[in-house]
């Protein structure tokens, strides 16, 4: 976040927005992308990468950091293989490991 804030402070002043934004390097038309859950349109050049408007980078960094923290609070679900359950259930092998190789066993 500190790096994003620092870089945003060095950005050029906001220029009038044109209807078709172009890449500052090659003048090609930029594609705009909106991430799920964000109200920010990010400008992309296929040849030169991502271009942020002033104050967009800190907002994107904050959004990604909040998503990362939320993901840490809720770990991914445990792996469940239905084939293992069926083998235990129908063959009476509740206390033995599955015969198949691979997986978590």
Burial class (CB in 10 A: 0-12, 13-18, 19+), 86: exposed
Residue 101: CB atoms within 10 A of its CB come to: 6
pTM for this structure? 0.49
d(CA 99, CA 105) in angstroms, rounded, equals 10
pLDDT more than 90, % of the chain: 22
Are 56 and 40 spatial neighbours (Cβ–Cβ below 8 Å)?
yes
Are 105 and 97 spatial neighbours (Cβ–Cβ below 8 Å)?
yes
Query: pLDDT tens, 57-82?
Result: 999 999 999 988 888 887 767 676 77
Q: Domain coordinates of the chain in residue numbers? A: 2-74
């Amino acid at each position: 976040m500190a790096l994003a804030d620092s870089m945003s402070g060095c950005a050029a002043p906001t220029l009038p927005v044109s209807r078709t934004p172009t890449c500052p390097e090659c003048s090609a038309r930029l594609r705009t992308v909106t991430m799920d859950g964000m109200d920010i349109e990010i400008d992309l050049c296929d040849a030169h990468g991502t271009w942020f408007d002033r104050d967009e980078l800190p907002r994107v960094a904050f959004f990604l950091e909040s998503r990362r923290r939320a993901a840490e609070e809720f770990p991914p679900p445990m792996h469940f293989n239905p084939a293992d359950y069926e083998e235990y259930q129908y063959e009476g092998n509740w206390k033995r490991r599955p015969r198949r190789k691979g997986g978590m066993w």
